[in-house]
Amino acid sequence: MTTPERWLEKHNRKLLMDRSAPGRIGASHARLDVPESELPDAALLRDNLDMPEVSESEIVRYFSQLSHYNFSIDHNFYPLGSCTMKYNPKINDEMAALPGLSEIHPFQPEETVQGALKLIWHIQEILAEVVGMAGASVSPKAGAESEFAGMLMARAYHLSRGDDKRKKVLIPDSAHGTNPASAVVAGFHVVSLPTNEQGNTDLAALEAAIGDDLAGFMLTQPSTLGIFDTNLSEVIQIVRDAGGILYGDGANLNALLGKVKLGELGFDVVHSNLHKTFTQPHGGGGPGAGAVLVSERLLPYLPEPHVTRAEDEDGERFSLTTPPQSIGRLGPFQGNFGALVRAYAYIRTLGDVGVSQISEDAVINANYILSQLRGTFDLPQDRHCKHEVVFSAKNLKDNFGVSGKDVCKRLIDSGIHPPTMYFPLPDVVEESLLIEPTETESKETLDQFIEVMKLIAKEAEEDPDLLLNAPHNTPNTRLDEALAARRPVLRWSRD
């Protein structure tokens, strides 16, 4: 039955093509200020351009109405584990939009973009210092592309030594799926390593898996279980002795700034997701930006272009260069420069003291949640965590038939974004709830979250249907994902 609410709701969700009316325009049309030229052969021209015709005010209203349908960090707490959803400073966006940074063309001659190159060079240097590596490239456009670049460098390193048997990459089962996918795209095959009961790398399994075909080991520190591997020194020794490259996934760098430098521990490649640790807004799933950082022995293989600095009597000069044995280009240009501006602005704002404080506060906040929700949910690893903590809703599932997903959906009703669910994978932690508060949340916010989580656990016992049917206050109730996959409808079409 059509109620006024339903009717309005339906109208709000109408797509642009259905809002179209012939003759309307949504942008001012510049006048042609040069003589017209003859148009080319009609065989090359299109006669049908079926695009929307909507006025500017209607477009603004449409997208603004849709805004109410999203949670965001600006809106509320967003403890989505492994995603580091910290506050995105507004000044960073303003800086990235400076015309002298946003309007410059990627093919401008070097002498006309010295400011941009200087900024890139500085961020390369700063990131290498923070992670303790010999050099950095900021051309990757995301974490996954950094991983890919890092593994290509590992490959190039082995091949340059005539070591063409090294095709195997070891990856713990707790790793994010991107690690194995990236290793395969770079031409390796992957062997998954079990995690032991303490959440560390299983050393016996590692010993058994190494050999002269070992190309490398990809390890996330702290791991996706939010804990630092206490076997790390042994792991590094074993992999190095076997001739493997040690890859550090820096997705969780927010726990380590000023606390440890992965390069000093012996990692050969580390990547940093600048959009997480150094606050590029996530924009509904990108853009990201990645840095790939390397030890001395991998410097010759960095992607091109790499920014270098030279100094003479005329002053300093920055250039785009190709490292001698570069793996090549990851994109047509220099990476996601706009994201680099934001990362640079953020790091310069916090400075040496502030950057170390990030990790201290992120880790305190996560451990505080751990201490307050212990007992309410299962805690697979009951030890100090780093910047994130994994709980399990297995107790609620076993006792009351509600899953981690149901807890998450009920949390939505409180206006808080759910933690990450189903990751780490079910064979590592069942019904996992991966919670990452970040350092930009106050104790009061954490207390609210803790309180709500306890109430939800109580509801699970007293009135499980409240969870099973949640969320209750959103524009859509639970959506039929099976239907979407079985009979894909992936675009508007004229009825």
Partner 1 sequence: MHDTTATSHYSPNTDSDREAMLAAIGVESAANLFDDIPQDYRFPALDIPAPLSEFELRQELGDLAALNATPGDYACFLGAGSYRHHVPAIVRALAFRGEFLTSYTPYQPEVSQRTLQAHYEFQTLICQLTGMEVANAGMYDGATSLAEAAMMAARITKRNRIVLAETVSPAYQSVVHTYTQGHDNLQVDVIAADGSDIPEDAACVVVQQPNFFGYLNDLEEMASRVHELGALLIVSVDLASLGMFRAPGSYDADIVVAEAQTLGVSPSYGGPYVGVLACRGGRDFLRQLPGRIVGETVDTEGRTGYVLTLQTREQHIRRERATSNICTSVGLIALMSAVYMAAQGKQGLRHTAELCYHKAHYLASLIEDIPGYSLPLQGTFFREFVVQCPLPPSEVNRRLLDYKVIGGLDVSDRFENGMLLCCTDVNTRGEIEALASALAEIGANAS
Partner 2 sequence: MNYPDDLKYTKEHEWLRIESETTVVVGITEYAADELGDVVFVELPDVGAAVSAMGVFGEIESVKAVSELYSPVDGTVVERNEELDDTPELVNDLAYGDGWMIKIELSDPSQLDGLMSAADYQQFLATL
Contact yes or no for 88/279 (Cβ under 8 A): yes
Q: Using CB under 8 A, which of 308, 321, 325, 349 touches partner 1?
A: 349
Residue 152 binds partner 1, judged by CB under 8 A: yes
Nearest partner of 293 among 237, 236, 260, 250, judged by Cα: 250
Residue 153 binds partner 1, judged by CB under 8 A: no
- Concatenating the DSSP letter of every residue in 358-406 gives HHHHHHHHHHHHHHHHBTTBB-SS-S--SS-EEEE-HHHHHHHS--HHH
228/248 Cα distance (integer angstroms): 12
Whichever of 353 and 482 has its CB closer to partner 2, that residue is 482
Residue 181 binds partner 2, judged by CB under 8 A: no
Q: Give phi and psi for 336, each to the nearest 5.
A: -85, 80
Near partner 2 by CB under 8 A, which window of 96-104, 203-211, 347-355, 482-490? Answer: 482-490
Q: For tokens 């189903």, what's the residue?
A: 422
Residue 116 binds partner 1, judged by CB under 8 A: yes
- Tokens at 147, concatenated: 């991983």
Q: Using CB under 8 A, which of 38, 481, 493, 495 touches partner 2?
A: 481
Site for partner 1 in 244-303 (CB under 8 A): 257-261, 264-265, 281-289, 303
- Tokens at 243, concatenated: 């001739």
Q: Using CB under 8 A, which of 2, 313, 324, 479 touches partner 1?
A: 479
Whichever of 406 and 459 has its CB closer to partner 2, that residue is 406
Residue 114 binds partner 1, judged by CB under 8 A: yes
Residue 490 binds partner 2, judged by CB under 8 A: no
Q: Write the interaction track for partner 2 spanning residues 407-426; mark x where CB under 8 A is met and - where it is not.
A: ---------------x----
Whichever of 29 and 486 has its CB closer to partner 2, that residue is 486
434/457 Cα distance (integer angstroms): 16
Whichever of 486 and 494 has its CB closer to partner 2, that residue is 486
Q: Using CB under 8 A, which of 31, 486, 491, 494 touches partner 2?
A: 486
Near partner 2 by CB under 8 A, which window of 96-104, 264-272, 278-286, 485-493? Answer: 485-493
Contact yes or no for 187/327 (Cβ under 8 A): no
Please, which residues have CB within 8 angstroms of residue 10's CB and are 6 or more apart in sequence?
none
Whichever of 110 and 461 has its CB closer to partner 1, that residue is 110
Q: What sign does the dihedral 306-346-423-261 (CA atoms) show?
A: positive
What is the biggest distance separating any 2 CA atoms in the chain, rounded to whole angstroms? 80
Q: Using CB under 8 A, which of 129, 196, 205, 300 touches partner 1?
A: 129
- Tokens at 454, concatenated: 């306890």
Nearest partner of 244 among 221, 272, 211, 220, judged by Cα: 211
Contact yes or no for 178/143 (Cβ under 8 A): yes
Least distance in angstroms from the C-beta of 486 to partner 2: 5
Whichever of 153 and 434 has its CB closer to partner 2, that residue is 434
Nearest partner of 173 among 136, 225, 95, judged by Cα: 225
Least distance in angstroms from the C-beta of 270 to partner 1: 14
Near partner 1 by CB under 8 A, which window of 8-16, 205-213, 240-248, 307-315? Answer: 8-16
What residues make contact with partner 2 under the rule CB under 8 A? 422, 481-482, 485-487
